[in-house]
């Protein structure tokens, strides 16, 4: 009888594990905050064998802002930046930033934000409720800084490594009471007028339940469509839609320098006399902190930082480009326990599988970088960018 009981118990545990795995596989949402549990676990260790070279840029002298490049590390708090700095031997491209500030990320109705509300604050300059997209706390649509840039005749772009209809990018072009209506959010791109669009999420563009083929609709509007990163360098004109994965792109070490390539090609195609606004997101720093994978998360941060290096070198030569680097929130309750700069190793603890409410950094380089010094609410980032755009001649 005892053996039968033990066998039945084992089968039940196996079944529970399989059901949990199946639920995880079927869950296509990126809102991992729902798995927050505040439980501690053993820390993880990661070591970098080959660090990458960082750039050095000189401060620009002019005060005119023609272009604005906003770079958002999703889930990239001071904790993640600190771990990345150690792992790359005490060097990051972010070290070049002339001005530093801090942003508080709480939402109108919750202390700990999600990317919908956090991204809306940065994009639109308002505090809002959890999970809102491009709306204020009362549910009113709010114009984003990208829309203000379009009103000024500037070209615009969005380059991410997640699905392009995820919170951060759609905060700049859409309005919704809830982030979960992803097919509808993808459809917002058809009439968005954005000149460069790149990321993942092609699953939401084709074979849709409503029968629409969003790729065809964009091509009919004059967009060039690519689905292979190898085709990025061959692009000679916009507008462009690049969708490189069914949902999120592969991890950084597997996908290669897609974000770097998209950023540099977007800048090349967007550069014009009236200027441009470009948002670049290191999207998956967040994903891997949700999963307590410090190595994967740090490789995403390195991919984002290498992209920052390419952007900064271009901005240094241009002299009229403001670069802002920040985060919508921090993720994972990451704590750096010990490590070595010389050995490029860290040992960490994660305290949650969700987001956490710690203040996040704001770095700025170029003309008007000093506008971003200080400690302020995340909505101030959007308001200060908007003010710079409105003063453009």
Cα distances (Å, whole numbers) of residue 383 to 199, 279, 379: 26, 16, 6
Catalytic annotation, pick one of 33, 103, 115, 283:
115
- Check whether the bond before 165 is cis (ω within 30° of 0): no
Contacts of 271 (CB under 8 A, 6+ apart): 67
- CB contact at 8 A, 334 and 312: no
Contacts of 218 (CB under 8 A, 6+ apart): 189, 190, 225, 241
- CB contact at 8 A, 235 and 224: yes
Q: Is 115 a catalytic residue?
A: yes
- CB contact at 8 A, 379 and 139: no
Q: Is residue 144 classed as helix, strand or coil in its secondary structure?
A: coil
DSSP letters spanning 201-256: -GGGTSS-TT---HHHHHHHTT-EEE--GGGSTT--SS-EEEE-SSSSPPPHHHH-
Sheet holding 240-243, edge to edge: 224-226, 240-243, 196-200, 155-163, 276-282, 67-73, 321-326, 360-365, 99-104, 374-377
What gap in Å lies between CA 334 and CA 349, rounded to an integer? 6
What gap in Å lies between CA 187 and CA 99, rounded to an integer? 37
Residue numbers annotated as active site:
115
């Amino acid at each position: 009888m005892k053996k039968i009981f033990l066998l039945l118990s084992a089968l039940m545990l196996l079944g529970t594990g399989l059901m949990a795995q199946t639920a995880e596989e079927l869950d296509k949402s990126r809102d991992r905050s729902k798995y927050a549990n505040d439980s501690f676990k053993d820390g993880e260790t990661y070591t970098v064998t080959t660090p990458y070279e960082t750039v050095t840029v000189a401060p620009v002298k002019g005060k005119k802002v023609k272009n604005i490049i906003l770079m958002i590390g999703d889930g990239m708090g001071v904790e993640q930046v600190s771990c990345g700095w150690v792992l790359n031997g005490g060097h990051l491209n972010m070290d070049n930033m002339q001005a530093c500030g801090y942003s508080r990320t709480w939402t109108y109705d919750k202390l700990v934000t999600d990317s919908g509300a956090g991204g809306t604050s940065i994009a639109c300059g308002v505090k809002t409720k959890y999970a809102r997209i491009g709306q204020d706390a009362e549910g009113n649509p709010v114009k984003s800084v990208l829309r203000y840039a379009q009103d000024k005749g500037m070209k615009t772009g969005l380059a991410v490594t997640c699905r392009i209809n995820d919170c951060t990018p759609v905060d700049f072009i859409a309005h919704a009471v809830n982030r979960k209506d992803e097919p509808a959010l993808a459809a917002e791109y058809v009439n968005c007028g954005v000149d460069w669009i790149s990321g993942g999420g092609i699953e939401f563009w084709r074979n849709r339940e409503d029968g629409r083929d969003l790729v065809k609709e964009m091509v009919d509007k004059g967009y060039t469509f690519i689905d292979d990163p190898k085709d990025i360098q061959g692009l000679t004109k916009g507008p462009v839609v690049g969708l490189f994965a069914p949902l999120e792109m592969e991890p950084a070490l597997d996908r290669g320098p897609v974000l770097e390539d998209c950023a540099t090609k977007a800048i090349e195609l967007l550069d014009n006399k009236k200027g441009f606004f470009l948002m670049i997101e290191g999207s998956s720093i967040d994903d891997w902190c949700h999963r307590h994978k410090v190595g994967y998360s740090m490789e995403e941060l390195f991919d984002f930082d290498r992209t920052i290096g390419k952007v900064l070198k271009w901005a240094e030569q241009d002299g009229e480009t403001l670069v802002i680097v920040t985060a919508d929130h921090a993720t994972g309750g990451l704590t750096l326990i010990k490590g070595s700069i010389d050995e490029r190793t860290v040992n960490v603890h994660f305290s949650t599988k969700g987001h956490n409410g710690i203040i996040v950094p704001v770095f700025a380089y170029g003309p008007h970088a000093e506008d971003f010094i200080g400690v302020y609410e995340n909505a101030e980032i959007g308001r200060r960018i908007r003010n710079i755009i409105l003063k453009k001649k």
